[in-house]
Amino acid sequence: MCSYIDLHMHTKYSDDGQFEPAKLVDMCKEAGVKIMAIADHNTVNAIPEAIKQAQKNGMKYIPAIEIDCTYKDLNLHVLGYGIDYLDPVFNQIGKDIEDQEIASSLKKIELTNALGFDVAKDMLDTVSSNGVYTGEMFAEVLLKDERYLNHKLLKPYREGKDRGDNPYVNFYWDYYS
Q: Give the per-residue pLDDT at 17.
A: 87
Q: What is the pLDDT of residue 2?
A: 58
| Full domain range(s) for residue 168 | 87-177
Last residue of a domain, which of 62, 85, 108?
85
Residue 5 DSSP label: E
Q: In this predicted structure, what is the pLDDT of residue 98?
A: 86
| Integer Cα distance of 166 and 148 in angstroms | 18
Number of independent structural domains in the chain: 2
Q: What pLDDT sits at residue 14?
A: 87
Q: With b meaning 16 or more CB within 10 Å and e meaning fewer, what string describes 46-85?
A: bbebbbebbeebebebbbbbbbeeeeeeeeeeeebeebeb
Q: Tell me, yes or no, whether 78 and 54 share the same domain.
A: yes
| CATH number of the domain enclosing 74 | 3.20.20.140
Low-confidence ranges of the chain (pLDDT < 50): 1
Whether residues 102 and 45 fall in one domain = no
Q: What is the pLDDT of residue 116?
A: 95
Residue 113 sits in the same domain as residue 81: no
Its pTM stands at 0.74
Q: What is the pLDDT of residue 155?
A: 97
Q: Do 108 and 162 lie in a common domain?
A: yes
